[in-house]
Chains A and B, each alone.
Chain A
Amino acid sequence: MSEKIYALLFHLFPARFRAAWQDEALELFRDRSAHERGLRARLRLWCDLVSDFALSLPRVYLSGSGALTTAPQPGAAGVPTFRPLETPPVRSSAYFFGTVLSALAIVVVSVLLKHGGHIPIIQAPAAAQARGFTADPWATGPGGLGGGSAIGAGKAPTASAAQASGLAGRPNVVAIGKPKPNYLFDLAQRQFVLDGIIQNLRDHYPNPDVASSAARSLRIQNSLGRFRSATEPAAFAALVTSRLRGSTHDMHLEVVFSERELLAADAGPSPEEETQYRSAMLATNCTFQPVRTLPGNIGYLKFNTFPDPGLCASIAAHTMDALNSSSAVILDLRDNSGGSPQMVMFLAAYFFDRPAFFWNPREDNEARMWTRSPVPRSRMASTPLYILTSSRTWSAAEHFTYNMKMLHRAVIVGETTGGATDVGVFHRVDAHFGIGISETHVRNPYSTPDWAATGVAPDVSVPAGEALETAQQRAAQRLAKQ
C-alpha cells in the first residue's frame, strides 16, 4: 500500500527523470521499508521521503543536463578564490511560473486583507461575560469577582445576587463605569498591569518581606514566559492570582479583571446609588424576613444580607428582640450574600455575655474586632444557636459563620460556604484591572485559615435543602436533654 502511495507521489517528478529512476527509487523504498520496521522507523521514513520530495522536486525541475565543469583549482596561497553560485541564464518557463506565483500571492494577500482585517484581536470580554462575571469586582457577596470564582472554582455568581450584595456591601463598593468591550490587552498592557500589581504589593502589602519576595517571583515567572499562555485578561488575572497565592500562601490576595471600566477608587457610590440602596432596604425590611417560631419554641430567622447598620440598626434590633424568648435560635444564611462587617458585629453581640473576638481580615484595628457584648436586653447569650449555610453563603455571612464556629458558639448546618476573597482593600491598577490586598496587621488567632477561597465547612454536612430540618432535629434533641 505504502509503495503504491510512493509510486504515485513519484509521478510528481518529470517524465524523463521517472523513466530513468523510478524502478531504482522504488527498489530503494522497498529496501528501506524492509529494514526500517516499527512505528517510529516508519514515521522517520515518511518524514525523510516528504522532505526529500520538497528538496529534490524543484532541483530536478529547475536543472537540466549540463556540460562538465572543471574541478575548482585551489588558488595560490594567500590569493582568494571566488566561486559562482549561479551561472546559467534563467529559463523562459521560469518567467511564466514566476508570473503565475506572483499573481497567486497577490490574490491571497488581497483576500486575507479583506477578510482577515476584521478579526477582533481581543475576544476576552465576551468570553468573560459568557462565564457570568459581573461588573462589580469588589462588591461583597457573590456578585464580585472577589468571591473567589475567578480562580476557576467554577462557581459563577449571578448578576442579580451581585446587585443585592452590591447594595448590601455599600462601604466596599467600587464605582463602575460604562462597559468598554474593546479593551486592548496586548503585551505592553500586560506588562503595565503586571508592573502595577507589583507596585501595589510593594506599597500596600502588610509584610514588606513577603511583598518583595512575591514581586520577585512574579518578575521571574514573567521573564520565563509563564503568563504567556493567558492571552485573555480574565485568565491572566486568575493565573497571576494563583501564582501570588502560591508564593505568599495568602488566599486574600486577588487580582481582578473587570469587564466594565473601574472608576477611580475614591469615586464612591453616587447619590442615585445611595437612594436606590435606601429604598431597597426599606422595601425589604433590610432583607430580614419575619421571625418565625418553630415547634419546640425554636426561633427561626432568615436574612439575605448584612445591611448597613447606619440605616438598618433599629430594624435589626427589633428583629433580634423578636428572637429573645426563643429556647433555641436558627439563623438561616443559606442565601445570604454578605454585606456590612459592622452589621456582623452588631448581630453577633446579641449572642455573647461578654465581648467576643471576631476575626476580620478587613479590619486593621484589633479593638474593633471585639463585639459590644453583652447587649443589655438580650437573653440569647447562652441560647443554643444553629446557622444554616450553603454554597451561596458569601462574604460577610462567612465572616459571621467563621467566627461563630471558631468560638464554638454555634453549630453550622448545611454546606461549605462560597469562599469569598473580597476581604482586602481594592486598588485600581488600570481601567480594568485591580488587586485586592488584605492590609490588616492583626494576626488571625485561629489555626484554621479563614474562609477566603476555601469557605467555612459546616459542623453538620447536609445538602442545603435539608439543613433546616436537620438543625430543627438537633435543636429539639438538645432542648429535650435540658
Chain B
Amino acid sequence: MPKRTLDPLPSAAFQILLSLAAEDLHGYAIMRQVAEQTANRVRLGPGTLYSSIQTLLEFRLIEEVVGPTTAPARRRHYRLTSDGRKRARSEAESVADTLRIARARKIFKGDYV
C-alpha cells in the first residue's frame, strides 16, 4: 500500500492550513476562506477539499473540534494543530526563500513584491 506523503506539501493542503491559522472553520467555510485568500483563484471542490482534510487529519496537522453550539450538528469543524502550524510556517518560509531568490534574479519588474 503506497503511503501518502505531505512532502512537498500540496498547494491545496497548504491553503487549508493557512485558512485555519486564524480560526476554526468547517468545510464550506474553509473553501470560502481559501477562495478569498487566493483572490478566487483556488476554489476547492468537495473531492479535493475532503481528501486533503483527510490527509491532514491523518498527519495530525489539523484536528476535528466541536463547532459552536449555533452551528448545525452535522458540521464538523477543524483546527490547526501545533504541528500543523509549524508545518505551515516551514512551508511559508520555503516560499519566502523562493521569493527572495526570484527577487534577486529580478523576476519582478518593481521592488514592491
Question: A residues bordering B, Cβ < 8 Å?
Answer: 10, 13, 17, 20-21, 23-25, 27-29, 31-32, 48-49, 51-53, 55-57, 59-60, 62-74, 83-85, 87-91
Contact = CB atoms under 8 A, between A and B. Distances in A.
Interface string B91-106: 1011001000000000
Interface of B: 1-8, 27-28, 31, 43-51, 53-55, 58-60, 74-76, 83, 86-87, 90-91, 93-94, 97
Contacts of A48: 43, 45
Nearest to A44: B43
B21 to A, nearest CB: 15
Contact of A69 (B6, B28, B75): B6
| Residue with the highest number of chain B CB atoms closer than 10 Å, among A32, A68, A71 | A71
Contacts of B86: 71
25 contacts: A17-B51, A17-B54, A24-B76, A27-B28, A27-B74, A28-B27, A28-B46, A31-B28, A48-B43, A49-B45, A52-B46, A55-B48, A57-B47, A60-B51, A63-B4, A64-B1, A64-B2, A64-B3, A65-B4, A68-B58, A68-B60, A71-B86, A84-B7, A87-B3, A88-B1
A371 to B, nearest CB: 75
Contacts of B28: 27-28, 31-32
Contacts of A66: 2-5, 58-59
A28 B51 CA distance: 14
What's the dominant secondary structure at chain B's contact region? Answer: helix
A425 B97 CA distance: 72
Contacts of B75: 27
Contacts of A32: 28, 31
Contacts of A52: 44-48
A298 B33 CA distance: 94
A230 to B, nearest CB: 40
A74 B51 CA distance: 27
Contact of B94 (A56, A67, A68, A74): A74
B3 A74 contact: no
Given A17-B51, A28-B46, A72-B7, 20 more contacts: A24-B50, A27-B27, A28-B28, A29-B46, A31-B28, A53-B45, A56-B51, A57-B47, A64-B2, A64-B3, A65-B3, A66-B3, A66-B4, A67-B3, A69-B6, A69-B59, A72-B8, A73-B90, A83-B8, A88-B3
A60 B47 contact: yes
B10 to A, nearest CB: 9
| Residue with the highest number of chain A CB atoms closer than 10 Å, among B8, B49, B51, B74 | B51
A57 B74 CA distance: 24
Contacts of B3: 64-67, 87-88
A25 B44 CA distance: 11
Contacts of A17: 50-51, 54
Contacts of B60: 68
A313 B4 CA distance: 98
B98 to A, nearest CB: 12
B74 A23 contact: yes
A62 B51 CA distance: 12
Contacts of A69: 5-7, 59
Given A17-B54, A28-B27, A91 B48 contact: no
A68 B58 CA distance: 8
| Residue with the highest number of chain B CB atoms closer than 10 Å, among A48, A68, A87, A91 | A68
